[in-house]
Every structure is written in C-alpha cells, then in structure tokens.
Chains A and B, each alone.
Chain A
Amino acid sequence: MISELINVSIDELLRELTPHVLGSVVRRFRDFSAGEDAVQEASLAAAVQWPRVGIPDNPRAWLTQVAFRRMVDHIRSETARRRRENDVALDASFIVEASASENASSEDDTLVLLFMCCHPELTEGSAIALTLRAVGGLTTAQIANAFMVPEATMAQRISRAKQTIKTSGVPFQLPSAQERGTRLRSVLHVLYLIFSEGYATSTGGELRRDDLAHEAIRLTRIVHKLQPDDTEVAGLLALMLLTDARRNARTSAEGELIPLAQQDRSLWDKQAITEGVALISATLPKGSVGPFQLQAAIAAVHDEANCAEETDWPQILALYDVLKRISDNPMVRLNYAIASAMVFGAPKGLELLSALDNDTRLKNHYRLDAVRAHLLELAGDREMAVVHYRAAAGKTASLPERNYLLTQAARLIAPEESSV
C-alpha cells in the first residue's frame, strides 16, 4: 500500500520534472532528438531505482546527471561510429548540477518544448505523442496504451516525429514575437485534441479515457501558469474543466452514452465547475475573445443550470452567434441550429439545418443526421426522426454513439413508451 503510494508520487514527480530536465539537456547538447531519448531513459532508470533506494535529495539533479551521462555515451558511440578522430572532450565528471539559477530559464523550457512538439510541420498524431512524452513525461508504453496501438508502433511514430523536427532545423528557443501567437494556437490545438481523445475516445468501445483528459488539463494548467495573460489559454483551460466536470454523468454504469439533457447533474463535479466558471468569468472581460473562451462560456451556461429545463438557451444562442462569426466551422452552425430550435422552436432549427445540406465538410458526417433526427423528434415527426437517427447510426465510427442512436430510433418506434 505504502510502496504503491510512493510509486504514484514518483511517477508524478518524474512527469513534472521531465520538461525541465529535457530543457537542460537540449540546451547543453543542442540535440532534441537524442536528448529526449536520454531523458526517457533517465526517467525509466529512476522509476526502477527510486522505489528501492528512495528519492534522491535533489531528484532533478539526479535525472539531469543520468540524462547527461546517456548523452555522453550516445555522442561517444556516434563518434566512434563515424570514426572521427577529434577528441570530443565530454566527460561525465564535469556534469553540471541543476542549480536554482537554472529555474528561471527552465520555466521557459517547458514552453519551448511545447512549441517544438506542436510544430506545424508535424502531423496531429505525432504532435500529440511527442507532447505527451517530452512534456508530459509519459512513457512510450503509457502513450501506446492510451491510444491502443502497439508500443513499437508508437515508438516509431515518436522517433519519426523527432526526425521531422531535426530536419526542419527548428532551433531550441522561443519563436519570434510575430510567430508566437500562431504557434501558441497550434499548441492549444494539440492540447485540445489530447483532451478530446480522453473525453470521447475516437477508437475502441469505451467512451472515456480519463487519464488523457487529466493529462491535457495538467499540461494546459502549466501553459496557463506560464502565459497567464493569454485569454485563449485561459479559455481552453476553463473549457476543459467545465466539460470534464460532467464526466461521471456522461455514461451509465453499463457504459451507455447519456445526453446532456438527461444527465444526473448531482454527479457533476461542482469544484471543477466553480473553478471553470471563475476562470472564464475573469477572462471574458479582458477582451480579445476567441473560440475556446466562447465554448467555455457556453459550457458554463450549461453547467450552471440546475436542470436541463432551466438552461439559458437565449444566452447560449447569443454565444453561438458570436462563435459562428469568428469561426467558419460547420459544427458551430449545427450547434447554433440546436440553440435556435430551443429558443424559437424546432422548425427554426430545421430551417437552419437545410442550409447545411450542401456543406461538403458535413457530407457523410453523422452529426447532421443526428441533430436533424433530434429536431424532427422535437417537432413531433417521429417517423422521419427514426429515419435520420438510423442514418446517423450508419455513419458514426463511435460504438457508444451508434448504440445510443439506434436506441433512440427504437424508442420512437415503440409508441407506448413516452420517454427513455
């Protein structure tokens, strides 16, 4: 029991220290790819040794030293391999201790590492994996497990991602002031993808993978701490908190999907809601409103309603209206149509949906059918609602979602039943 607790705290400690140690290594050796491997090896060594011999007095210095040694070994073998004559005077003996004076720069290191791992030249999948390993301090095995792919496949994905970074010649420093805004958006996008993957897994039959969502929240908290004045960072953190707060109400004990309107709101995490609402309320008045802040504000309106009937739909409609203007995303238009239906009645929502029929981005997407089915049901057209629930079921790639949609259709063809 106690040793288990120690293991948990060691794991947390290692993950917290990873970006700082990696920062020191990369700054010293100017090699992100090899440095990242060295830090992973150091972490694995710590995970084996610390539970037995105890956590060293200065765990960060310990990790840095081990990682430095690995780098020296790496450079030596590389040098030997290349049969170079020049004496690379690197020796483990002169290794620096991670001193307090390094702390200032190491805060920035986390940010620099995030910018690197979320580099626009990487595919989303690679950026996610690399971020979780280099900044989140997860092992390849843990990441592979979370995404349900073999460890060897994940290792390869990470190594290729690092190769891409190497080839692109990104220097280990913060992007220029002009670039920083766009690059930060890429970072937030990747963090959002990690969160979404945890919240509604895109693979497999289980609906939630909490650890990924929690990891995304932890990383976003770090970014928020480093960039407290960026309103979209705050918006994303609030959005994650306000969405994750509903986690326990989102699925039944049997693993069935429960829609927002039918969730048992007593299961919502009040503390997360309070934190999220406070954060978004403090952020919105600062100006420069972006999509994450608006989505967080919408989530806050939902979370603050004591029951579905008390939801302030006019407020949500107004927020979607602003979101619709700043982001040309068909999903936003779909949600705008739902909010309109809730305020002005189902026919208004259905009318808005017909404008989306020719949107190629929604072609073959289940959600247009699902929303239409829902609104048709609200309008009293059960027969057509069944048709569209089934059409949506045929298009979704989420098993819990398909089960939900088929059950909705089945519910409507059983006229004696009035509700789910």
Chain B
Amino acid sequence: MKYILLMNATKEVFEWYSTWPKEELQANMAFMRKIAAELKDEGVLLQTAGLAWPQQAVIVRAGSDGQPITDGVFPEAKEFLAGYWLIDVESAEQAYKVAARISLAPAPKGTPGTMPLEVREVMDRAPEEMP
C-alpha cells in the first residue's frame, strides 16, 4: 500500500525555520538526510522531495483563451506543502510509524510538540469485485 506523508507549514513557520540557530538548523538538516537514507535502505521509500519555498507560489487558471492566468495572493493561514515522502508499506499502521519517525525531526529547544505530518493513502489498490 502506498502512502504519501505530507509536511505542511504556514508562511510564518517557514520564516521561523529560517531564524533557527545554526546548530539546531544543522541538526534538522542532517536528520532529514539521514531519515531519507534510512527509509531508502529499508526498501520503503519510493520518492521524496522538498519543495522550494512558497514565496513564489502561484495559483494558475486557464483564461478564456486557454492561456495561464496566475494569482499569487493567499490567505495568511494557508498551509503550503514543504515536502513529501512517498512510501510503500504493508498497512496504515506502518505508514503511521514511518510518519512518527519523521515527526521526531529536531527543532530548537522549547519548541512545543513534534512536527505534524499529514498521511494520505495513494489510490493504487486493485479494484475489487463489486457486489
């Protein structure tokens, strides 16, 4: 079963991250490299990517001529995708366990809680006989 683990954050959180002290920042970056390597070694990771920051994020729609119309205005509270891990595991519980491991990514001292991840199953199951 394939799951995608999504790391989301508001612009405020992106900005906060960029102000972390050097050691904490480096610890976090090293953790992210390590967890990706581990999941790859375990044969669980299909793909992972970080996204460029949302400063230049745009909403695109086709105009009446079919050409793109871009809009870059987002509500303050909007959560942007920061990165994702696409994994292949045996059960939802296993997917949650992987998410929990990633959630332990280090943050500066005093940061409340651990990092939240949104877990979604990817529609990849074979269709079953309909009753």
Contacts and interface: CB of A to CB of B under 8 A. Distances in A.
Given A205-B50, A254-B33, A411 B55 contact: no
B25 A394 contact: no
A399 interface: yes
Which of A256, A390, A406, A411 has the most chain B CB atoms closer than 10 A to its own CB?
Answer: A406
A408 to B, nearest CB: 9
Given A254-B30, A399-B50, A409-B18, A364 B56 contact: yes
B53 A393 contact: yes
Which of A205, A255, A364, A402 has the most chain B CB atoms closer than 10 A to its own CB?
Answer: A205
B123 interface: no
Interface in A85-133: none
Main secondary structure of the interface of A (DSSP, over half): helix
A204 B14 CA distance: 20
B39 interface: no
Contacts, number: 48
B125 interface: no
Interface string A246-285: 0000000011100000000000000000000000000000
Interface string B20-44: 1110011001100100100000000
B52 A395 contact: yes
Contacts of A403: 29
B55 A407 contact: no
Contact of A406 (B25, B33, B49): B25
Contacts of B52: 395-397
Nearest to A411: B22
Interface residues of A, number: 23
B22 A407 contact: yes
A255 B33 contact: yes
Interface in B51-74: 52-53, 55-56
Nearest to B22: A410
B71 to A, nearest CB: 16
A414 interface: yes
Nearest to A412: B22
Interface in A220-256: 254-256
Given A390-B18, A393-B18, A407 B30 contact: no
A395 B22 CA distance: 20
Which of A204, A402, A403, A414 has the most chain B CB atoms closer than 10 A to its own CB?
Answer: A403
A409 B26 CA distance: 12
Contact of A407 (B14, B26, B53): B26
B56 A406 contact: no
A395 B18 contact: no
A161 B36 CA distance: 34
Contacts of B14: 394
Contacts of A204: 49
Contacts of B20: 406, 410
Interface string B71-109: 000000000000000000000000000000000000000
Contacts of A397: 52
Contacts of A411: 22
B33 A205 contact: yes
Nearest to A389: B18
A118 B87 CA distance: 37
B56 to A, nearest CB: 6
Contact of A395 (B17, B25, B56): B56
A180 B33 CA distance: 46
A416 to B, nearest CB: 11
Given A205-B33, A205-B36, A254-B30, A395 B21 contact: no
A395 B53 CA distance: 7
A340 to B, nearest CB: 29
A390 B49 CA distance: 20
Nearest to B51: A397
Contacts of B17: 406
A414 B48 CA distance: 32
B105 to A, nearest CB: 14
Contacts of A414: 21-22
B31 to A, nearest CB: 11
Contacts of B26: 407
27 contacts: A204-B49, A205-B33, A205-B48, A256-B29, A364-B56, A394-B14, A394-B53, A394-B55, A395-B52, A395-B53, A395-B55, A395-B56, A399-B50, A402-B50, A406-B17, A406-B18, A406-B20, A406-B25, A407-B29, A410-B19, A410-B20, A410-B21, A410-B22, A411-B22, A413-B19, A414-B22, A417-B22
Counting from the closest, the 3 A-B pairs by CB-CB distance are: A410-B22, A397-B52, A394-B53
